[in-house]
Amino acid sequence: MASSYKLTYFPTRGRAECIRFILSYGNLAFEDVRVPYEEWPALKPQTPFGFLPMLEHEGKKAHQSTAICRYLAKKVNLGGKDDWEDLEIDAAVDSIHDAILKVSALRAETDEAKRKENMELILKEILPDNLGRFEKFTQKNNGYFALGRLTWADLFFVSLLTGMEQWAGADALKNFPNLLNLKKKVLENPGIKKWVEKRPEDIPRPTK
């Protein structure tokens, strides 16, 4: 019997949720360790580079969520069949990640008035523009982000939707039928469905 994985992250979905999705999709046993925020300073020196998530398996430790996702995706046939296919998947993931970074930077504004302006810009322009691009892209790829089939790029996108819908609204995808259908297909996978049904609720990071 294969040994299980140990995934350590904060008590939230964040950067670890796609990893949890991939493990669940492949029915790979894993221990989901959620570190209370107040315990992080003591644990930090024990991590490879002082960051989470961290994956442990057979005495080895790995960090960086994208690298972990790529590694696990190959284990469960969600990666490419050759280097070029891996490139297409990575390009899709990086495109999604770029959109996240742009939005996150604007949402991090601390000035209340400026933050309100930023949110209006995000909801009226940036988010619809990015989702529109993803909609067209998936339409050309048989409903997926890469290769015309399910890959970890699709799990990456869907794993982020819960967080996005918290501030953009539950109907954020209503004008993007391909993305809505992709969300449905991913969440209907038996392993992922089982995970989503049992996963703990997020605990927000304390504000300073």
pLDDT in tens, 188-205: 999 999 999 999 999 988
pLDDT of residue 160: 92
Looking at per-residue pLDDT, the higher value among 208 and 158 belongs to 158
pLDDT of residue 2: 61
106, 143: one domain: yes
Residue 45: inside a domain, yes or no? yes
- Averaged pLDDT of the chain: 92
Q: What is the CATH number of the domain that holds 14?
A: 3.40.30.10
State the sign of the Cα–Cα–Cα–Cα dihedral 74, 48, 87, 19: positive
Mean pLDDT of 24-41: 96
CA 77, distance to chain mean position in Å, is 18
Q: Which domain holds residue 110?
A: 83-188
9, 68: one domain: yes
Rounded Cα distance, 72 and 2, in Å: 14
64, 89: one domain: no
* Residues sharing a CB contact under 8 Å with residue 126, sequence separation 6 or more, in sequence order: 99, 102, 103, 106
Q: What is the CATH number of the domain that holds 121?
A: 1.20.1050.10
Residue 205: inside a domain, yes or no? no
Whether the Cβ atoms of residue 17 and residue 43 lie closer than 8 Å to each other = no
56, 87: one domain: no
What total of structural domains would you count in the chain? 2
22, 103: one domain: no
Whether the Cβ atoms of residue 153 and residue 146 lie closer than 8 Å to each other = yes
pLDDT of residue 108: 82
69, 142: one domain: no
Does 1 have pLDDT greater than 80?
no
pLDDT of residue 104: 85
45, 88: one domain: no
114, 157: one domain: yes
Residue 203: inside a domain, yes or no? no
13, 93: one domain: no
Mean pLDDT of 85-96: 97
Instruction: State which of 90-104, 105-119, 143-157 shows the largest mean pLDDT.
Output: 143-157
71, 154: one domain: no
| Percentage of the chain modeled with pLDDT above 90 | 73
Does 8 have pLDDT greater than 70?
yes
Query: Taking the model in full, what pTM does it have?
Result: 0.93
pLDDT of residue 119: 87
- Which segment of 99-113, 153-167, 170-184 scores lowest on mean pLDDT? 99-113
- Per-residue pLDDT tens digits for 116-169: 999 889 888 999 999 999 999 999 999 999 999 999 999 999 999 888 888 888
Does 208 have pLDDT greater than 70?
no
106, 152: one domain: yes
Does 82 have pLDDT greater than 90?
yes
